[in-house]
Amino acid sequence: MPRLSRPVLDGLGIVARLGLAAIFLVAGTLKVVDPAQTRIAVGAYEMLPPDLVGPVATALPLVELALGTLLVAGAFTRWAALVSAVLLVVLMIGVAQAWARGLSIDCGCFGGGGAVARGSTRYPQELARDFGAWLLALWLVVRPRTALSLDGWLRADQDTQRNRAGHLAT
């Protein structure tokens, strides 16, 4: 297999980074503007004790927005991607358990959510979409280096300083 050059890999990285960021920003925004619906969506999974539904419904969109922001900037890319990957696994478990238990819900991934008519669930599509996002996150965990990132900008700065120190020492 031919090794891809660094600019190509960095380019693929930024596609993964911005793609994942867009998913989280859109999902977070749609949830944050309709907190009532988000509570319904979270409650519909029937995974959490009733007292936890509210706090989770409040926190989830904020976490999504924060992750999206970090990813757009390319700041702490590896950590943001790692948290994203874990979050996506949790969300996929939620959808899968709903499917397995025969619940009839919409995942509410991008706003909406809650119970839907029997037969109009879309579990396979929802899981496939989450899995796709998870692959993007995984790429960034393995190779967080991307073009046009804050991380890259800081790395360049550190290199400069290290080099300057080296230069002065000689």
Partner 1 sequence: MGGAERGEHKRKRQGAQAVTAARGAGGSNRSVVAGVVIVVVLAVVVGVGLFLQNRNKPGDLPGTIPVAAAGPEYRVAVQGNTIVTGNPQAPVTIEVFEDFLCPGCGQFEKLYHQRLAQAAADGRAKVVYNPVAILNDLSVPAGYSSLAAGASFCAAEAGIFPRFHDSLFAAQPVEGGPGWTSAQLQQLGRDLAASDGFAPCVQAGADRRVAAATEIARRYVSGLRPDGRFSTPSVVVNGAVVDITDEGWLDKALSNARR
Owner of token pair 């990132």: 149
Q: Which of 34, 78, 82, 147 binds partner 1 (CB under 8 A)?
A: 34
Indicate whether 152 belongs to the interface with partner 1 (CB under 8 A).
Answer: no
Q: Quote the least distance from Cβ 128 to partner 1, whole Å.
A: 25
CA distance linking residue 75 with residue 51, whole number of Å:
34
Minimal distance, residue 168 CB to partner 1, in Å: 8
Check binding of 79 to partner 1 (CB under 8 A): no
Subset of residues 91 to 120 that bind partner 1, contact rule: CB under 8 A: 114-115
Q: Rounded distance, CA 138 to CA 136, Å?
A: 5
Output the smallest distance, CB 93 to partner 1, in A: 21
Q: Is 40 in the site for partner 1 (CB under 8 A)?
A: yes
Residue 57 to residues 12, 54, 63, 116, 161, Cα–Cα distance (Å): 33, 5, 10, 19, 44
Measured between alpha carbons, how far is 19 from 25 in angstroms, rounded to an integer? 10
- 33 lines the binding site for partner 1 (CB under 8 A): yes
- For residue 21, CA distances in Å to 54, 87, 110, 134, 167 come to 25, 14, 14, 12, 39
Residues that bind partner 1 (CB under 8 A): 5, 28, 32-40, 43-44, 50, 53-54, 58, 61-62, 65-66, 69-70, 73, 75-76, 114-115, 150, 153-154, 156-161, 163-164, 166-167
